[in-house]
Amino acid sequence: MTQLSGPRDRLHALTEPTGPRTTGAPPLPYRGGRSVGNTHRRTSRPACPPGDEPLAPDQPWILQLRPRNAAALREAVSDEATLREARLLIGDGAVGWAVEVAVLMTAPAGAPALSAIPDDLTARSAEALALYILTCLAGYAADDIPEIVGVSVRELTRRGLPVDGTFHSLKSHLDRLVHELFRSCRDLLGPAEAADVTRTLSEALVTEVQRILLTLAEQAENERRGWYGSAAAHHQELVLDILDGADIDAPQAFLRLGYDISRSHLALVVWRDDWETRGPADLSAAATALLRSAGCSSLLTVPVGVSSLWAWGSRTRGHPLPIRQLRPADGPHRQAAAAPPAVHIAAGLPGQGVEGFRTSHRQAEETAEIIRAAGRGTGGRTSPYDYAELELAVLLRSRPDLSAEFVRRELGPLAADGMSDLRATVKCYLDMERSMSAVARRLHIAKSSVAYRVRKAERLLGRPLQQDRLQLHSALLLFDVLGEAALGR
């Protein structure tokens, strides 16, 4: 993992996917989808029915595009309505091609490193652009640029990326799409025909790409003017200075933020699953409820991008309660600690003074990152996510590439599909200091079943479980937290 120097770098860096997209997860909702019939108007081409139809020489060549991977369509990140419309207009083959190329669009050469911004917005925006341009080239005039692309512009702008940086990011995505279109044109058509088609294609693409870039640049400039004049932007700027280690006078910070950074703090990172542009009110409410339940009397919330928020809470005397004390089975704070289903909260440990302000936030960010990486495979954990519980996994995953190789090597056959019960039993067995009675009580299974599973695991691993116990236990912990993502998939 490329290390960024500080919170400001992580905030400003563009999102780039670092691996293949996962399949089987339900798509996250966004407002980029539009119903069939009110988005595109047929101008000169007939609609192509869905299906993996063979290439036909009488089809427009755009409709003959095919992905290299026949299963590419299953990797799509767009919502069902958008995909259904695109498949009706240009066919499954061309849609699969756009999905495959969108992955290349989001990883151009020389792109900035992955930041704390979730990858899904960049992926959705690129895929929407690719589908939009293909349908236009196939002869369907679109009403508007997909809204999810505008959302990505707002996200980048609110994270402090200058307008020219946003423009460069979008242009690099479109350049890659154009490159792949020309390459596919040469592959599909003979040299003579390809030369004629690419001349016509160049004219169409120059016009369309210029229109898209000018429209989005205007959106970015309008967003910048509105955002940088807001109190939230000024608060974000000062908070970034504090997090970056600037020497900030606490009384002056209090005058500007209305929050005393010299107290003891508990930091949160809050985000929602979708990219609806309804504002941070629900995020702020969830953060406020949790921090109040931790005994905080003073709160600071800072919106970050479109769908996330940073928060801190402090109390006049003593430390805020750590998250683990807010979730006892019958404790008084259990209801207050709960967040709405679509809202996620990651929490650091309480910390004192300016350094505690920074450290608790850094811990909350690392916790949020590992939860986002895990997706649905979080071992049954629910929000709020506690750094104290996940600290070892965070530290072990400081290099995702090396940690994935470590998990694959240590677990061997235990990492295969269908081994979840065996992994859970072995982890619990090591958690409980190899007490079969304690494992049986924890998992609600017979003691003989525990013994059978332990013997089976030892047979599969080819060694006793106490041999290299620390490495095995660590690998099982990473798999428990990250699921399949622990294997680098």
Domain co-membership, 379 together with 406:
no
C-alpha distances (whole Å) from 319 to each of 59, 268, 297 are 69, 15, 11
User: Of 228, 261, 294, at which residue does a domain stop?
Assistant: 228
**Which residue range is the domain that position 482 belongs to?**
399-487
The closest alpha carbon to 113, from 6, 3, 8, belongs to 3
Q: Report the mean per-residue pLDDT for the chain.
A: 80
Instruction: Please indicate, yes or no, if residue 374 is contained in any of the structural domains.
Output: yes
Domain co-membership, 450 together with 404:
yes
Domain co-membership, 410 together with 428:
yes
Domain co-membership, 390 together with 413:
no
Domain co-membership, 176 together with 298:
no
Q: What's the alpha-carbon Rg for the chain, to the nearest Å?
A: 25
Asked whether 479 and 411 are in contact (CB, 8 A), the reply is yes
Instruction: Please indicate, yes or no, if residue 259 is contained in any of the structural domains.
Output: yes
Work out how many domains the chain is built from and give that number: 3
Asked whether 298 and 313 are in contact (CB, 8 A), the reply is yes
Q: Which pLDDT tens digit goes with each residue over 38-58? A: 345 444 333 333 344 444 444
The closest alpha carbon to 275, from 142, 158, 136, 143, belongs to 158
Domain co-membership, 371 together with 455:
no
List the alpha helices (DSSP H) in 375-468.
387-396, 400-411, 420-431, 436-443, 447-461
Domain co-membership, 311 together with 201:
no
Domain co-membership, 439 together with 380:
no
Question: Strand pairing of 308-315 and 264-272?
Answer: antiparallel
Q: Which pLDDT tens digit goes with each residue over 419-456? A: 999 999 999 999 999 999 999 999 999 999 999 999 99
- Reported as type and span, the H/E element at residue 127 is helix 119-137
Q: Which pLDDT tens digit goes with each residue over 373-420? A: 887 655 667 889 999 989 999 988 888 888 899 999 999 999 998 999
pLDDT confidence of residue 312: 97
Predicted model pTM:
0.67
Tokens of 354: 């300016």
pLDDT confidence of residue 15: 32
Q: Which pLDDT tens digit goes with each residue over 170-199? A: 888 888 888 999 888 888 887 778 888 888
Q: Which pLDDT tens digit goes with each residue over 331-364? A: 433 344 556 667 899 999 999 999 999 999 999 9
Bond into 54 cis (ω within 30): no
Q: Report whether pLDDT(258) > 80.
A: yes
Q: Report whether pLDDT(92) > 90.
A: yes
Asked which of 19-33, 180-194, 273-287 is least confident by mean pLDDT, the reply is 19-33
Asked whether 282 and 340 are in contact (CB, 8 A), the reply is yes
Domain co-membership, 150 together with 79:
yes
Q: What is the CATH number of the domain that holds 459?
A: 1.10.10.2840
State the Cα–Cα distance between residues 133 and 147, nearest whole angstrom: 14
C-alpha distances (whole Å) from 480 to each of 183, 378, 380, 473 are 43, 7, 9, 10
